[in-house]
Amino acid sequence: MKKATVGAVVVGSAAAVAVAALIVRHRMRKSNKKGRAMSILKEFEEKCATPDAKLKQVADAMTVEMHAGLASEGGSKLKMLISYVNNLPTGDEGGVFYALDLGGTNFRVLRVQLGRKDGGIIHQEFAEASIPPNLMVGSSEALFDYIAAELAKFVAEEEEKFHPPPGRQRELGFTFSFPIMQTSINSGTLIRWTKGFSIDDTVGKDVVVELTKAMQRQGIAMRVSALVNDTVGTLAGGRFSNKDVSIAVILGTGTNAAYVERAQAIPKWHGPLPKSGEMVINMEWGNFRSSHLPLTEYDHAMDTDSLNPGEQIFEKICSGMYLGEILRRVLLRMAEEAGIFGDEVPSKLKSSFILRTPEMSAMHHDTSSDLRVVGDKLKDILEISNTSLKTRRLVVELCNIVATRGARLAAAGVLGIVKKMGRDTPRETGPEKIVVAMDGGLYEHYTEYRKCLENTLVELLGAEMSTNIVFQHANDGSGIGAALLAASNSMYVEDKSRG
């Protein structure tokens, strides 16, 4: 009996030792995992770092590429497209003008009434329609007929007071946010479709001719006075309300910038110099790249997996389409190597682009004590329940790293434009205001990103110069801007000047 008791005690103590060893191992594993998560975070933070010195190198590289792109076609990753917009709105425009804004799967038609010097925009209204999926891959004629039919409906419903005077044709600004080779203020051939469109018989054709033929088939007497890209439209819209606007930046799903350049500073321009001496340049800056950009393994992997590897590198680290995806990739690695969401890697976390930037923004802006919004988003989107407060804090920290890098690099891009314009140092004639017209959902809705961008530019320009730079939100710049450019390039304005 005694022997059995001793045996039981020995077995019992051995079991206790084994359990204790398991507990120690579990704690060590937990500690190791936590350490691994922190080391992934630290490494990512270091790779994304944007000290002022680096941002100034990025700005200088942007300026160099701008010079190269203006010197010759294909001379730079920046296309530096000549927009043929040399008459920006002055605020003197009057009359009723239309705009057609085709930016993607939705399009809008607008009517804008302008009241000359003191009137500004007296009246504006718009209608919106989405393009049926079958027309995005059908024929050119079918697409433009559908657009023209919606435009005809809009015109048919207008009040009599908006009717043009006898002998005068209605005029339209056409915002076409796809890659085109512009050949004049109101002509341009489609280089390629993007954003889910694939209509082969439009490629290489003049989109204004296609739209004009469709309008004629619908019986609309309307002339396209201006063909513009959405960023150029934003610049025009900003200039109408503030004569100091000389740069426009869109930060939305994608990103782009346009600015006013001296016509003499464009070596690849071979036509007669415009009377204004100026030309708006559409930079297509999303395609900018430089060895100074702080790229990580996650960026390289995302680029490799993308539809356009090696292209749009700047856009892929700054704009709304990609920020949430970068965050997802870092979280996936932490889930795989550090088990931050438990022993199993959540299957949803493996889905590319499942984590969108609006969700990332909501988590970044969560000010609740228990970070409830972060917990809800992880549960709703990734089906990850019961996350600890530590894990939620980690997620917010990652949001901050991704957004800060993007916003600071966008600010460096703006500084590059300011440098190219020679406006980064004080002038003898005194301070000259630089107003940047900003548009896009990322800028408008992601408050932390917007504040970081604006503060960074102030920081980079220094105390004396930063007081001269102003950001102006140009909401719906692309649509209004197109109508304004139709006004400033109206054939009737030309007639008047000839007379």
Q: Which of 238, 318, 262, 252 is nearest to 62 (CA)?
A: 318
Rounded distance, CA 266 to CA 270, Å?
9
Residue in 230, 299, 366, 439 annotated catalytic: 230
Residue count of the chain: 499
Rounded distance, CA 293 to CA 289, Å?
7
Give the gyration radius of the chain's Cα atoms: 28
Whether 418 and 424 have beta carbons less than 8 Å apart is answered as yes
Helix (H, G, I), strand (E, B) or coil at 436: strand
Has 333 been annotated as catalytic?
A: no
Angle between helices 389-420 and 372-382 (to 10 degrees): 90
Residue in 25, 29, 116, 192 annotated catalytic: 192
Rounded distance, CA 255 to CA 143, Å?
26
Has 230 been annotated as catalytic?
A: yes
Whether 321 and 357 have beta carbons less than 8 Å apart is answered as yes
Q: Which amino acid is at 259?
A: Y
Residue in 76, 83, 140, 177 annotated catalytic: 177
Q: For tokens 């088990």, what's the residue?
A: 339
**Strand (E) or helix (H) holding 448:** helix 447-466
Rounded distance, CA 135 to CA 244, Å?
41
Has 177 been annotated as catalytic?
A: yes
* Inter-CA distances, 218 with 7, 130, 154, 186, Å: 99, 19, 12, 20
DSSP summary character for residue 499 = -
Q: Which amino acids are annotated catalytic? A: 177, 192, 230
